[in-house]
Structure 1
Amino acid sequence: MSLPIESVLDPLVNALKYNRCVVLKAPPGAGKTTGVPPAILRHCVSPAFPKGQIWVIQPRRLAARSVASWLARTCGESVGETYGYHVRLDRKESKATRVLSMTTGMFLRRMQSDPMLEGVACVVFDEFHERTLDIDVAFALTTRLRQELRPELRLVIMSATLDPQPILDYLNCPSADADPAAPSDAVTEAIGSEWIGSEAIGLECEGRSYPVEVTYHPGNARDRLENRMLGGIQSAWQQTDGHVLAFLPGVGEIERAIRSIQGSPIASQAAVMPLHGSLSPKAQDAVLTHTDGQRKIIVATNIAETSVTVPGVTAVVDSGLAKTSVMDSRLGLSRLEITPISIASADQRAGRAGRTSAGACVRIWDQAANRSRLPYDAPEISRSDLSDVVLMLASLGETDLAAIGWLTPPPEHAIKAAQDLLQQLEALDANGSITDRGRAMAGLPLHPRIACFVIEAVTVANFSKREVAIAAALLSERDPFSTAGNQQSRLSLVEKIQRVQQDRGNANSRNPVSLGTIRSVAKQIERAIGDLPVSPVEGSDPSSRPDASPLERWAGALLAAYPDRVVLRRDDDPDRGRMVGGRGVMGLSAFDETATPSPLMLCIDVDGAGKESRVRSAVPIDPTQLNPHAVQEMVSVEFDVASESVRGRLVRSYVDLVLKQTPASAKDSEEASTCLYEAAKRCLADPELLGKITPPTRAGSEDSMAAIMERVRRVVAAENEGKPADVDDSLAADGISKDPLKDVLRQLCQGRLSFAELRKAPWKDYLIGQIGYDRWQDIQREAPTHLLLPSGNRAAVHYVTDKPPWIEAKIQECFGWQKTPRILMGRVAVQLHLLGPNRRPQQITEDLESFWANTYGEIRKELRRRYPKHYWPEDPTTAKATHNGLKPR
């Protein structure tokens, strides 16, 4: 049967012949996945085409296997001959294999051992629109390899819903620069004149015109998802006579939907089959090859969204949801979120119904909701854990990830979080270069944490490679011992290993992961372990105690891999605790191994959602197992507001997790001095609070810190001809701090722990020392604390911010003064508060001469009548002042 893709195969092959990259957009059913690789294979015999295999990169294992198997059957061969595949746990390849389908993860692993891709002629990225993390990394490395070292390597990017323009722009297409060599007529005719001078060309073909009728069946929004899906499935079942493909976000939703279908009348008419990535390859293939004539209802995740064609599907029921993993780099935790799919993904799913004939698509959402959906799915690189990628790139000598030409650059904070984790695991050194341990970890087909665990369990805890491989498989795969009601079983790791070895599985028939899957994964890990001549992490030796139990040794190995997942349980609620990093966790009690719960737990699997993370897997650990290099003891200080003093505590902590606190002396501690200073300095800015930390004085006393500083500022202002704005700069020019009190306070806090001790401190002496002795003499002279009155008495000079300096004196004490006294280099008149015998002001003036001449006579009459014993001369400018105000004898 002719396929739409055939219309673009000639220009595609011609573009590859003349070494142009190709970006191909072809809708579902066009035949790109099964049409393009054979076309390239037929034409790669050309002398212009490099020798080597054609690698077809698929984002999913099911697609890689099924495509290779289908192409092999069309040639009448067994898979593994001309067409082969290589996926995790499964490989069909021989010396005769020319076209090899593989997952992006396997492509990156093979690139680690062969960075130059020797023996590869062409790389085809299929379903590029999925933009998984591995796809972005593989694409960046392949394009750079082609640009810098292997310009002859051919490259094809394919997708059904891809927006090709960003890819073409990334590949510098079209380019403003002409080719170095003038193109021949043959080249122009082969690739089209519009692509001359470009690195890549864009091609697009039309799909087969099988219409798909899309309807919206949102149902009652309050109903559970499986019930709303059942309504859509029943509707789709009636609309067509083929198989029904239903899309749900995850395995749990699939299980609930299947139970809902099996409880409905439609169950007797259909074979209900799940399809998701946790199923064994045999179970997945059974869904694709089930041909007993009975109609099927296939309930799948987005594994069936692309590349895989389920024969006979004429109806799609779409929940419009998918599960995505989001990494919170602040917490170091990933969380699964159910999110709406993009419009492109919805169109891709609907296209599954029109592969072979007209079909129907029922969407379980309201049509108006389409307006809020994104046009395309966000690249996974923007939200994922990057530790695996950072380690893999480090093994290739890449330490500067920002220098890699990313199609979508990863967030800097995610790169930093991955590098920090790998340094904790001792896979990277302080410069970001890979260590020997890191190389051993990168050589294992495991996440860096689990790879670190494997190395520790083999080299330090002395477990057999078989046991370690089983443990690693259990940590990597879905829990085979979970029940339908639990996402995680409560068996310990030791019990699970024993059950796998004894072939005692779970009675739950719905569990998608069998012990056979775990054993298959374990065999591959055991082969990969090989010899591990790697020294253990310094300070981590759980097997050093001869009485250590297997559980303690496993816990020690896990601790090396999850050093940031240690949790201290709460005394008042042992089910809850605080994890390194400050995150609260819950659900710890389910993992207690003994009657006396351990205060420390290691959380292997934690859900990052919610205010408190729910623990899905944990083991108890002993404090002695903590890496001593990460355990610190220090005196911690804090200011107690009630006692106005610094309190010290001896704190024992692991990373930032406080394990134990006891009272301790903070005397002579720099931290205590800083703590007291930070608490006390807020009092400097508030005159009402200043007395809390400075020596007690009378109100307005010349010895108060506020008065002394006001005198300093008045002198500086006078020297600057009365410009207060220049005071701070002038202080600095004199070598005096702009805020001497702060400097004095900082000095006085040394060796002291409370406000009470500060109040007893010699503030004035320290302040004079801060100002300098010579400068202090200037201040004493120009801003005196007292003035000598004509009576012989001394009057205190008051200095208050934003007021003129002033004194209080009885009128009789000022007789003989003809003019107002002046200070501050004679530039400032002292304000006189002239008092009557009752010590109440009778006049406030800064012009004493005018007062004597104009006002004194009137005041004299009244005061003379009221106080006849006091002295009231007619001419105060020549009269003798008296110290008590009475008439002189």
Structure 2
Amino acid sequence: MPPSLPSLPVLESLPALRASLSAQGRAVLSAPPGSGKTTLVPLALLDEPWLKGRKIILLEPRRVAARAAAARMAALLGESVGETVGYQIRFERRISAKTRIEVLTEGLLTRRLQSDADLPGVGLVIFDEFHERSLDADLALALSLDACANLNPELRLLVMSATLDTERVAALLGGAPVVASAGRLHEVAIRHLSMGTELEHGEAVARVCLQALEQTQGDILAFLPGAREIRNAQGSLHQRLGERIALRPLMGELSSTEQDLALQPDREGRRKIILATNIAQTSLTVEGVHTVVDGGLVRVARFDLGAGADRLETQRVSRASAEQRAGRAGRLGPGSCYRLWSRDQHAALAPHDTPEILAVDLTRFALELAAWGLGDPAALALLDPPTSANWQYAIERLRDLEALDAKGRISAHGRALLRLPTTPRRAHMLLKATREGLGETAIWVAAVLEERGAADSDLNLLIERYRRGQAEQAAKRRVEDNVRQLRRMLGPGDAEHFNDQAVARVLSWAYPERIAQRREGQRTQDAVFLCADGGEARLHERDALAHQAWLAIAHWDPGPPRRIRLASALSETQLRQDHQEQLRWQNVVSWDAANAAVTSEAQRRLGAIILERKPLRGEEVAAATRQAVLCAIHQLGLQTLPWQEEHRQWQLRVQCLRRWRPELQLPDVGDEHLAQTLEQWLMPYLDGVSRKEHFTRIDLRAALSALLSYEQQQALSRYAPTQLEVPTGSHIRLEYRQSEPPLLSVKLQEMFGCASTPTINEGRQPVVLQLLSPAQRPIAVTQDLGGFWARSYAEVRKDLRGRYPRHPWPDDPLAASPTRRAKPRGS
């Protein structure tokens, strides 16, 4: 071990760590912030016998941490970066033939494994800050474990973390020993503050920084969620402090030089306030910091399945992240941490961050697995499996890009996509555009799309500003770095070949489902566009792009409503040429609710967008028309059919007989069941019906009757007749009712001589008699006719015979003859 290593708590765990790695080849190191694990462990293990002639790869989740860790280790060795210790991040590589410790960002290990799976010359891979659970870290660890098991059993693995469920990770590593390091080096006093919600977040953090300046010594590290809040806080502090205090932003978007200004002591000896995103949360010891101001927010990527893209979401930090942030204040001595939330709010925080594998777009992850020879994530050692919906979406997109074949195996095109440092969609765009002679255009589109928060909605104007050097300096540098890298990978580009008219074309190759057509006749303050994926997207009417007929959309807010953030005007002529294979004729027979009629046409479509229409004819159309009418009836409800009273009475007769005689096995003909089985009983009776006004043509009586067999129809007529014969010989209509006996409404005089209540269903079911006056008004309702004659008739006779003198009112109705007629006049 180099003699110059500082005495930090992690050194006490080295004997156990060495023994575990030597014997089992794997270990999990649990070491709190400030213990020295990032920089001391690789150096302390460098002379292990099993590492002779081999390298250590140290993985860091962020570029700034990778550079800082390499610089710190090199300084401890008294060397420059690039000698014993080097690093490689995107756009930067400082590694030489002498380098034995390579500090990499996590995605670079995956690239190395994919190109040479047994990692020749590497003896140990260290996964630092694994608790952050980036998708790249999960993938790199899973591939490393697979490589150990099948290709290089001598490769050793060490997972290090400050806040992690170590037992789960140890189990993932096949029961690896867990080695615990000593605690934090210095105490940190936690102060919870309740800040009003009326303040913008950057301003609230700035105010607490001013308070901390007065109450503490040394530099201050303040955590904010993103660049906008950092700029606001920086402006507010500069207005109050001027040049007395060095204000240093620290974000991943900054150049290495700008990041170093935040990490190193101020050249003029001033106190510093470092305004950082969560890139300063782990792996970094920032010189001079004794105070942390934690705004409590973090901006993370979350996959929106409906939008088919990751979106940035601002949310509360987890308790584990808050602990990590507070630990920054105790690296160099006793410190303070100001938290902009209450103790009660702290208790309600999530215990850990959500792993990216559960939250972000998995398209590239799925392509990496396919390149490894796997089509199922369950075949890899992963702490958390991806969600089935996000995984299936990724597989479908890769098939759309022709990156996977029908069996899920990676294609040659898929391997070419992986070689480019961007998403599979944009890689596909770059390769296709290069073949079409539009490579330079696609390079600029891809580079500019890497930047977030564009002020313009027109991608063409945004690219033009970058090409003219009129963009903000840091963003300009990042875009130009991307452009140079892509030119190197795709072949020399010629700026003169940039084609402003082709921006929308190449963009549409990356996001074909976001091709959009303006919808006319929308009376809103927004222009509404129908997208190929079937959804809508909107632009304010004042936006210049709002009046274009076609757009290729790059970014939108997921919504609803989806608001277009970045797009380019697209020519329909060019669209038809470029997407000819995706333009398909589709026969569409459907119910048009607006016109209350069936539409039958052949449509040429790009997804949900209809470009051409032609009328359809033929028997296939007739069958589809019947189906469309059925769908309309489902939507409109069963009551839209031409129901008559006779149909409803038939329905009630069948339902009654189902209850009375279940052995007949009559079908359920209630409305609910009829609605569910429309296709079975109504379809044959829809010939010639294509409009709502045609519904009156439907022979509903025949359709309903066909539900019964001949024997059941005979039984219905016998046991549940429509009429009953009364003593006068009249056949009176029965009224069937839901859950009640049938009703027979008959003139009282027609029932003379009848001693008992009439029945149906072979005498098993008495009817309800509604006895009527000569004027056809109800005078009694009974199911006991004999009792009516004996107990009630006399009172009825007394009340009515004076009113209806021409009608018979005998003293003994059972002895009288029934009659339908009145007495002749004068009798």
1:556 aligns with 2:512: no
Structure 2 CA distance for aligned equivalents of residues 621 and 811 of structure 1: 84
Question: Which amino acid letter does the alignment assign opposite residue 128 of structure 1?
Answer: F
Residue 125 of structure 1 deviates from its aligned partner by 0.6
Give the match for residue 34 of structure 1. 39
1:750-789 deviation line (CA, Å, top 9, x unaligned) = 5424565333433223333332334323332333333444
Q: 1:579 to 1:353 in 2, by over 3 A?
A: farther
Pick one of 291, 295, 316 that aligns with 1:340. Answer: 316
1:269 aligns with 2:269: no
**Range with bigger deviation, 782-791 or 95-104:** 782-791
Pick one of 384, 393, 413 that aligns with 1:408. Answer: 384
Aligned residues of 2:67 and 2:87 also touching (Cα < 8 A): yes
Residue 12 of structure 1 deviates from its aligned partner by 0.9
Aligned residues of 1:428 and 1:438 also touching (Cα < 8 A): yes
1:310-348 deviation line (CA, Å, top 9, x unaligned) = 333333333332221222223223332232323333333
Residue 566 of structure 1 deviates from its aligned partner by 2.8
Q: Helix, strand or coil: the match of 1:781?
A: helix
Give the match for residue 154 of structure 1. 156
Structure 1 CA distance for aligned equivalents of residues 683 and 265 of structure 2: 82
Residue 133 of structure 1 deviates from its aligned partner by 1.9
Give the match for residue 577 of structure 1. 528
**Range with bigger deviation, 113-122 or 73-82:** 73-82
Pick one of 507, 516, 540 that aligns with 1:567. Answer: 516
Aligned residues of 2:444 and 2:463 also touching (Cα < 8 A): no
1:524 aligns with 2:478: no
Q: 1:739 to 1:349 in 2, by over 3 A?
A: closer
Structure 1 unaligned spans of 5+: 174-198, 479-485, 532-547, 684-691, 698-703, 721-725
Aligned residues of 2:224 and 2:294 also touching (Cα < 8 A): yes
Structure 2 CA distance for aligned equivalents of residues 591 and 844 of structure 1: 75
Pick one of 6, 15, 20 that aligns with 1:15. Answer: 20
**Range with bigger deviation, 660-669 or 879-888:** 660-669
Q: Helix, strand or coil: the match of 2:741?
A: coil
1:506 aligns with 2:479: no
1:5-34 deviation line (CA, Å, top 9, x unaligned) = 221112211111102422212233322111
Aligned runs of 1:362-377 on 2, under 5 Å?
A: 362-366=338-342, 368-377=344-353
Q: Helix, strand or coil: the match of 1:457?
A: helix
Residue 463 of structure 1 deviates from its aligned partner by 1.9
Structure 2 CA distance for aligned equivalents of residues 776 and 341 of structure 1: 72
Give the match for residue 821 of structure 2. 884
TM-score by length of 2: 0.85
1:66-85 deviation line (CA, Å, top 9, x unaligned) = 32233334445443343222
Aligned residues of 1:471 and 1:497 also touching (Cα < 8 A): no
1:129 aligns with 2:102: no
Q: Helix, strand or coil: the match of 2:455?
A: coil
Give the match for residue 469 of structure 1. 443
Give the match for residue 626 of structure 2. 670
Aligned runs of 1:290-689 on 2, under 5 Å?
A: 292-295=267-270, 296-366=272-342, 368-460=344-436, 462-464=437-439, 466-477=440-451, 487-489=454-456, 492-493=459-460, 496=463, 500=467, 504-506=468-470, 508=472, 511-515=473-477, 517-529=478-490, 550-571=499-520, 572=523, 575-578=526-529, 580=531, 585-587=537-539, 592=544, 597-608=547-558, 611-624=560-573, 625=575, 627-628=579-580, 629=582, 635=588, 637-638=590-591, 640=593, 645-646=596-597, 648=599, 654-656=606-608, 669-679=625-635, 681-683=637-639
Q: 1:868 to 1:469 in 2, by over 3 A?
A: closer
Q: Helix, strand or coil: the match of 2:382?
A: coil
Q: 1:202 to 1:876 in 2, by over 3 A?
A: same
Q: 1:713 to 1:885 in 2, by over 3 A?
A: farther
Residue 406 of structure 1 deviates from its aligned partner by 2.0
Q: Helix, strand or coil: the match of 1:264?
A: helix
Q: Helix, strand or coil: the match of 2:721?
A: coil
Give the match for residue 2 of structure 1. 7
Structure 2 CA distance for aligned equivalents of residues 863 and 597 of structure 1: 82
1:692-736 deviation line (CA, Å, top 9, x unaligned) = 633545xxxxxx012223333444544x3xxxxx48x821599xx
**Range with bigger deviation, 250-259 or 626-635:** 626-635
Q: 1:549 to 1:880 in 2, by over 3 A?
A: farther
Q: Helix, strand or coil: the match of 2:374?
A: coil
Residue 42 of structure 1 deviates from its aligned partner by 0.7
Residue 36 of structure 1 deviates from its aligned partner by 0.9
1:780 aligns with 2:730: no
Aligned residues of 2:768 and 2:781 also touching (Cα < 8 A): yes
Q: 1:696 to 1:92 in 2, by over 3 A?
A: same
Give the match for residue 686 of structure 1. none
Residue 557 of structure 1 deviates from its aligned partner by 1.8
Identity in percent = 34
Residue 451 of structure 1 deviates from its aligned partner by 0.7
1:116-135 deviation line (CA, Å, top 9, x unaligned) = 33432211011112222212
Q: Helix, strand or coil: the match of 1:409?
A: coil
Aligned residues of 2:456 and 2:462 also touching (Cα < 8 A): no
Residue 229 of structure 1 deviates from its aligned partner by 3.3
Q: 1:863 to 1:551 in 2, by over 3 A?
A: same
1:234-276 deviation line (CA, Å, top 9, x unaligned) = 44445565443333221222222222333233x3334333221
RMSD of equivalent CA atoms: 4.0
1:397-422 deviation line (CA, Å, top 9, x unaligned) = 22212443321233222223323333
Give the match for residue 180 of structure 2. 203
Residue 846 of structure 1 deviates from its aligned partner by 5.0
Question: Which amino acid letter does the alignment assign opposite residue 101 of structure 2?
Answer: V
Count of residues in Structure 1 that have an aligned counterpart in Structure 2: 801
Aligned runs of 1:41-52 on 2, under 5 Å?
A: 41-43=46-48, 45-46=49-50, 52=54
**Range with bigger deviation, 424-433 or 579-588:** 579-588
Give the match for residue 694 of structure 1. 642
Aligned residues of 2:63 and 2:105 also touching (Cα < 8 A): yes
Structure 1 CA distance for aligned equivalents of residues 438 and 565 of structure 2: 25
1:421-450 deviation line (CA, Å, top 9, x unaligned) = 333333334554333332221221111121
Structure 1 CA distance for aligned equivalents of residues 636 and 204 of structure 2: 64
Give the match for residue 116 of structure 1. 118
1:150-185 deviation line (CA, Å, top 9, x unaligned) = 443211111233343332344454xxxxxxxxxxxx
Pick one of 62, 80, 89 that aligns with 2:91. Answer: 89
Structure 2 CA distance for aligned equivalents of residues 477 and 604 of structure 1: 12
Residue 498 of structure 1 deviates from its aligned partner by 8.6
Residue 749 of structure 1 deviates from its aligned partner by 4.1
Structure 2 CA distance for aligned equivalents of residues 842 and 329 of structure 1: 69
1:138 aligns with 2:102: no
Q: 1:855 to 1:583 in 2, by over 3 A?
A: closer
Give the match for residue 228 of structure 1. 204
Aligned residues of 1:243 and 1:312 also touching (Cα < 8 A): yes
Structure 1 CA distance for aligned equivalents of residues 806 and 264 of structure 2: 128
Residue 549 of structure 1 deviates from its aligned partner by 11
Structure 2 CA distance for aligned equivalents of residues 454 and 205 of structure 1: 50
Q: 1:585 to 1:813 in 2, by over 3 A?
A: closer
Aligned residues of 1:58 and 1:103 also touching (Cα < 8 A): yes
